[in-house]
Amino acid sequence: MAEAARAKYKVGGMDCASCAAKIDTAVRRIAGVEDVSVSVTAGTMTISHNGTSDLKAIEKKVTGLGYSVLPMPAKAPDHDQAAQGHNHDQADHDHHGHIHPEKDITDLHGHDHGQIGGFWWQSRKGRLTIAAGAALAAAYAAGHLMPAIAPYAFVAAVLIGLVPIARRAISAALSGTPFSIETLMTVAAVGAVIIDAGEEAAAVVFLFLVGELLEGVAAGRARASIQSLTALVPKNALLEENGQTREVPAGTLTVGSTILVRPGDRISADGVIVSGESAIDEAPVTGESVPVRKGRDDTVFAGTVNGDGALRIKVTAASADNTIARVIKLVEEAQESKAPTERFIDRFSRYYTPGVVAAAALVAIVPPLLGAGTWEEWIYKGLAILLIGCPCALVISTPAAIAASLSAGARRGLLMKGGAVLETLGKVTAVALDKTGTLTEGKPRVTDIVPFELKEAQVLSRAAVLERNSNHPLALAILDRAKSDKVPVPPAFEVEAVPGKGMTGRVGGERLDLLSPSAARATGALTVEQGERIAALNVQGKSVSVLLVDGKTAGFIAMRDEPRGDAKAGLKMLTDAGVRIVMLTGDNERTARAIGEQLGIDVRAELMPGDKQRIVGELKREGFIVAKVGDGINDAPALAAADVGIAMAGGTDVALETADAAVLHGRVGDVAAMIELSKRTMRNIFENIAIALGLKAVFLVTTVIGLTGLWPAILADTGATVLVTLNALRLLRPVR
């Protein structure tokens, strides 16, 4: 079977799920279209078709619904776009499109222009709202000066605002969405004109346009924090080649390139520091308020700011795959994946809107037929009910909260791949965590230096001499400690590795050996007491190296992969929230138990990847909602099996791809923060639904008994939509 052709479009003016649904429904009905994916967040539409589709007809259909549409090139046309982390032709991953630079987001509805593409009054919807307002004011003035022409002036004012709305309503109805918000508005306004309520009809149309504008400007704020990430990566980079430095577009950097980053510059690519040391401000990406000191072999992110030292950095990810691009991609995919609550609202509104139309018709027709009042009175009430029933606030109640929550999370380094993930996180009752790289730093540190005859610094210095050219993790731990303690590391001679035993060499006339305990024991250098001391350190999960000077034991150096600084506090946050915690690790039982006792967590050790997956399954069968936190390939099966898989920063690509969420900054406490954000979001969603339905219920009753009419009806709908959106935006506020 031939592979389906794909076409991508930039779509302007989408605010919420109902916008995307209208476009999706309309485009799917066009011959040859096999699949449609509309991304509200990215403002894009991706179509799979069999090659026979009329692409111009698709563009015309979307334009007819009131949205701007522009074909997107298969590849970034210039380096500016590439530099900002966009991947326009990544067949494996790019199902939904990507967010584009601010300069590209043009001709949006007034909804978005307040925040992204310019000022709201420059947009099509903004100009229409201004025109409708001016026409309403002119009609009032004309009616005051010449009362005889007032009805005609108000009808003209109605038509100025209503004609574009009616065209969108007709286009939506012909495309498979007969009960759109625009349809309800058009019927209500035309009905009001027929019963000689032209003044109210003109005001209602104007208020409807203002409501849409306010709704869009507010919704745009929820997206702004994600879209602003594209501006974090600089457009240019200083590339080192053949000893020379030249400025190139950051989008042209390839993996393995070496770049120079001067003090104060933004880092233009993900990479590893080759030389230099500096304080890196990671706040733009991770939210970390204190600059992090980094040196050789440390990882740096694109978009972070170099502090006080020049750095040479080896690029580890192309611009389309750097941290910023991945953050944006994760959030885009997240907003594509609807939460169960959101799907419920979509289904509910599908039946709710026709129900409102039917109720309005019954209110308009039945009472006068029964002689309970005049036709004009009850038709007026029916039209008001039609406006009250507009599902704007209800439809936006969930996606607005989810968009705000995903944006807030991303700014704090909490990335979630979907609304469903966000909803499930709040229900988590058990968290299974990997040890190495998740609860611990992932690399050993020197924990104890035990000298015999020499001083601590002398033991450390001699050990570092032997390890200075080694890349073994234990050697690096010794060298790091020597560097931090500022002990001298003189040059050594005749240094060589002894396979399976350790290192040997000569320094200043001394013969030095750094051996494993078993190798040292074989030389006869260890006393019984020293052997017991080594055993005690081993029980604590520490690896021990024995330093011999001229054949005599001079000291021990004990090393262990230590818990992250925030691990204990982060685990306490989880247990305080009533969540069961357990460590799942492939490490040996002794080391795992030592770390587990230090952190106060249940331990399951010496596990293969399949064992971790099995234990996650057992927890689920016991009734727990399970989150699995890990960073390695061996965690991938368990991450996939869990209700929510959470990858730690710095983890393997496999872990990041398999996981449902990621903790960018690698803090254990961020797992608890992610769960709390989910709970806040769900509370916010239920508040939004209550606001939307509550206001409608109140005004439905007051309209039927004659206390309120068309004006309050449209204000109720607009007010509910704005209240719901503003309530959702509270999720953007940082939590202390």
Greater confidence (173 vs 96) lies with 173
Highest mean pLDDT among 497-501, 532-536, 730-734: 532-536
**What would the mean pLDDT of 624-651 be, rounded to a whole number?**
79
Fold of domain 236-321: 2.70.150
The answer to whether the beta carbons of residues 66 and 169 sit under 8 Å apart is no
- pLDDT over threshold 60, residue 47: yes
- Identify the pLDDT of residue 106: 28
pLDDT category of residue 615 using cuts at 50, 70 and 90: very high
- Identify the pLDDT of residue 336: 53
Greater confidence (259 vs 170) lies with 259
Greater confidence (341 vs 401) lies with 401
Q: Any bridge partners for residue 604, and if so which?
A: 584
What spatial distance separates the first Cα and last Cα of the chain, rounded to whole Å? 55
Greater confidence (434 vs 102) lies with 434
* pTM of the complete model: 0.58
Give the CATH number of domain 5-72; options: 3.30.565.10, 3.30.70.100, 3.40.50.150, 1.10.1200.10.
Answer: 3.30.70.100
Helix 669-704 and helix 340-369, axial crossing angle in degrees, nearest 10: 0
- pLDDT over threshold 60, residue 610: yes
- CATH superfamily of the domain spanning 413-439+563-673: HAD superfamily/HAD-like (3.40.50.1000)
- Identify the pLDDT of residue 500: 64
- pLDDT over threshold 50, residue 287: no
As assigned by CATH, the class of the 442-562 domain is alpha beta
**What would the mean pLDDT of 567-588 be, rounded to a whole number?**
90
- Identify the pLDDT of residue 77: 35
- pLDDT over threshold 70, residue 430: yes
54: three-class secondary structure by DSSP: coil
- pLDDT over threshold 80, residue 686: yes
The answer to whether the beta carbons of residues 52 and 30 sit under 8 Å apart is no
- Identify the pLDDT of residue 289: 44
- Each as own residue / partner, the long-range contacts of residues 249-252 (CB below 8 Å, 24 or more positions apart, any chain) are 249/79, 249/80, 249/82, 249/83, 250/79, 250/82, 250/83, 250/319, 251/76, 251/79, 251/80, 251/81, 251/82, 251/83, 251/84, 251/319, 252/79, 252/82
Domain assignments of the chain as residue spans, ordered by start: 5-72, 122-224+335-404+681-732, 236-321, 413-439+563-673, 442-562
508-543 tens-digit pLDDT = 788 889 998 888 888 888 888 999 999 899 888 888
- pLDDT above 70 coverage of the chain, percent: 79
- Identify the pLDDT of residue 94: 34
100-115 tens-digit pLDDT = 333 332 232 333 333 3
- Identify the pLDDT of residue 126: 78
The rounded distance, in Å, linking the Cα atoms of 654 and 659 is 8
- pLDDT over threshold 60, residue 489: yes
Please give the angle made by the CA atoms of 217, 220 and 223, to the nearest 5 degrees. 165
**What would the mean pLDDT of 682-703 be, rounded to a whole number?**
84
- Identify the pLDDT of residue 279: 82
**What would the mean pLDDT of 569-589 be, rounded to a whole number?**
89
User: For residue 491, which phi and psi values (nearest 5 degrees)?
Assistant: -70, 145
- Identify the pLDDT of residue 311: 93
Whether 576 is catalytic is no
**What would the mean pLDDT of 609-613 be, rounded to a whole number?**
81
- pLDDT over threshold 70, residue 588: yes
pLDDT category of residue 79 using cuts at 50, 70 and 90: very low
Region of poorest pLDDT, from 317-326, 480-489, 524-533, 535-544 = 317-326
**What would the mean pLDDT of 552-579 be, rounded to a whole number?**
90
- pLDDT over threshold 60, residue 431: yes
230: three-class secondary structure by DSSP: helix
156-184 tens-digit pLDDT = 988 998 898 888 888 878 877 777 767 76
| Structure tokens belonging to residue 120 | 């709201």
- pLDDT over threshold 70, residue 39: yes
- Identify the pLDDT of residue 83: 33
H or E segment and range at residue 654: helix 653-658
- Which of 15, 24, 104, 434 is catalytic? The answer is 434
Region of poorest pLDDT, from 66-70, 89-93, 394-398 = 89-93
Greater confidence (167 vs 216) lies with 167
377: three-class secondary structure by DSSP: helix
Region of poorest pLDDT, from 298-302, 322-326, 481-485 = 322-326
**What would the mean pLDDT of 36-65 be, rounded to a whole number?**
82
- pLDDT over threshold 50, residue 492: yes
- Mean of pLDDT over the chain: 78
- Identify the pLDDT of residue 580: 95
- Identify the pLDDT of residue 90: 32
**What would the mean pLDDT of 372-387 be, rounded to a whole number?**
81
- Identify the pLDDT of residue 271: 93
Query: Concatenated DSSP letters for 419-438?
Result: HHHHHHHTT--EEEE-IIII
The answer to whether the beta carbons of residues 419 and 336 sit under 8 Å apart is no
- pLDDT over threshold 90, residue 444: no
**What would the mean pLDDT of 470-484 be, rounded to a whole number?**
85
- pLDDT over threshold 50, residue 273: yes
